[in-house]
Each structure stands twice: as structure tokens, then as C-alpha cells.
Amino acid sequence: MTKNPERIVVGLSGGVDSAVAALRLLRAGYRVEGLFMKNWEDDDTLTRCSAEDDIAAARAVAEHLGIDLHHVNFAAAYRREVFEHALAELRQGRTPNPDILCNRHIKFHRFLNYALHHLGADAVATGHYARLDHQPDEPPALLRGVDHGKDQSYFLAAVDPSALHHVRFPLGDTPKDSVREEARAAGLPNFDRPDSTGICFIGERDFTAFMQRYITPAPGPIIDEHGDVIGEHQGLAFYTLGQRRGLGIGGAAAHASAPWYVAAKDGERNALIAVQGHDHPWLQSRSVSTEDFHWLASPREGRLEAQVRYRQQPQSGRLVAQGDGSVAFFFDRPQRAATPGQQLVIYDRDRCLGSGVIASTEPLDTSGLAGHREQNSTEAV
């Protein structure tokens, strides 16, 4: 007796990646259906038009492939579990990563459960560029995508490892250029649709202008490393370490006409600290420490690799457990603009071992920085 093929629900976003993921699963003989998730609701015309374009593109793909397309609204959960958390982090002067939170709480929890329990799916699939190695009696190993320039394992490092048993990543073994060509050859209606960029609830809009709807501006001085006032900021929540654009400093008297970068936040004085020089010592960190570390594999220590941001080249160093569930990573080479609130993601070659929110950093040069260390702590600003 022939076993029925797996029923897989693909998260169709309207983009080319999820469309090709569905196409590949169909060609492999699976029973495929699509699900469009609405994760953000806003009365903003730009956001509303973008969402309408996305659902229209997803519907066109489903019709072309001859599969059913379901709809679900996770906007309330997204606002509660992702957006409100992001706001709280920003108000603390930290820089959160909503995309990682969305994968953990929405795509690989709520979407997964909805597909399994309401739609009767055996598994779900997305267009992420990552791979899974399924082994008996243990959670699947999360691996980098073959296209390291597009690899998205960094964004998946906080997912519940038990969820990965029910997940498929059909694009993990393929370069992005080949995926778009495959979509064109198959006649998919969105083969040339541009990739989405930015945080989903902000999109292409100005970050500061959007966030000022939710966080009251609290202007204060921008000061240089000597304590001299060189400008005014709109509120510490609207800036991140290493930021160059949007400071509005221009040519400061007694300073060379070189770019300025955010190096620190002084919460007590509501001051933003800016320095000149892309690789200024105050922007370099010897090590970072995390909050509770989220393991996708068995905990370990020793020589490994790490990333403190997406698309960063893997950085070698030494991982040390802190004893309270957190970890510290000591880099072989100092890292620029390691930022509290962002994620430290650990790798053993291509395998992603897990992640933790960066709680503090150890600057390369602390001389003169003692009064500006608030950016390297979890204290509220």
C-alpha cells in the first residue's frame, strides 16, 4: 500500500523565494497548500498598499501553481509578542531584532501550530535560505544555506528546536540567482518582484519618523569624546551604535571634516556620544556577554565562530559559559559596533548552535569612556 505524500503548508508571502519553495515541493510530489500571514495592521496608506500588493502576488502564485491559499491574521500576536517587545528594548536604549522575534514567535510557532492543528498539515515550509539535517532521536541540526551571501540561519537561531522537526527549507541548497531564474523558467507571475527590505512593520519608511508615533522624542546633546557639545539628538531610542546617517552634525568646529559615528549612549545625561573614524577604538569590542543563551544543540564551550549581525563574516573566538545560562564570546579580532539588544549567534562551521541577546560588551579601549558606559549595559536610559 502506497503511503500518502506529506501535506505541506507553505508560508506564501508574495515573494519569489516562497513561490519557488512551493513549486519545488509540488514537483517533488508533496501535497502543497499556501498560507498568507497578515502580521501587521496599520492605517498608514503605504503599509496598507504594500500588504494589498503582497496578498495579490501570493494569490497569483497560488492560482498559477493550482494550490489552495489560506489566510490568517496574526497581527494581534505580532504586536504583543514582537512589536511591544521591540518598543520596550528601544526605550531601554538597546537595538532589538524584530525579524528574529518574528521567526521565533510567529512564523515557527503560531504559523506552525495553525498549519498543523487547523489545516491538518504534516509540516510547513518557507523560502528561508537555510538547511536542516534530520537525525533520529534528536532535534534537526540547523545549517547555513549553501549561498553564504544569502544565508538566513542567523534569523532562525532563536527558534524552538522542537519546531524544526516539522519544518522544510526547500531553497537551502540553492544560490539566490538560480532561484529567480527557476521562477522565470516556470512562468511564476512574481519572478521579477523585488525582494522585500527593512523591518516588516516599517518597510521602506524612515525609521525615526515611524517610531516617533510610539516613542516620545527626548532631545539631548550629542557630545564628542572630550565632552564638547557638537549637536542635538532626537532621543536615544532612535539611534544605534555605529550609526553614521541621521546625526545632523555636519562640520563641527575644531574637528576635521570626517564622518561621525554613534559610539555610546549616556543615559544619565541623555547624551549621545559620537566619534570620528569608522574604526575608532570606542567602536571596537573584545568580547560580548549575553542574556540567557538559547541552544539549538547540546551546550558547549571552546573554539567556535560567531556573528553579531546578519551577513557578517563568521568571526572566530572562544565561547565561555557564565554559569547562569548566559555566555561570553571572546573574539580573536575586535568587533565593530557590537550592540546590546542584537543577537550573538554561534556556529560550529556550518551548524548554527543557537543565539543570545547581547547584554554587554567589553570595549577595546576604555580610556576616557568610563563616563559613557551606559550603552554597554542593560540599564534603562
Please identify every residue annotated as catalytic: 102, 200
Distance, in Å, from the CA atom of 207 to the CA atom of 130, rounded to the nearest integer, reads 28
Size (the chain), residues: 381
DSSP conformation class of 49: H
Angle of helix 16-27 relative to helix 176-185, nearest 10 degrees, comes to: 70
Q: Which three cell numbers stand for residue 13?
A: 508571502
Residues 319 and 304 sit within 8 Å (Cβ to Cβ): yes
Residue 98: other Cβ atoms inside 10 A? 17
**379 vs 89, 93, 374, CA distance in Å?**
11, 8, 7
Residue of 85, 90, 82, 379 whose CA lies nearest to 239: 90
**Among 236, 214, 237, 218, CA closest to 79:** 214
The label of the residue with cell 573554539 reads: 303
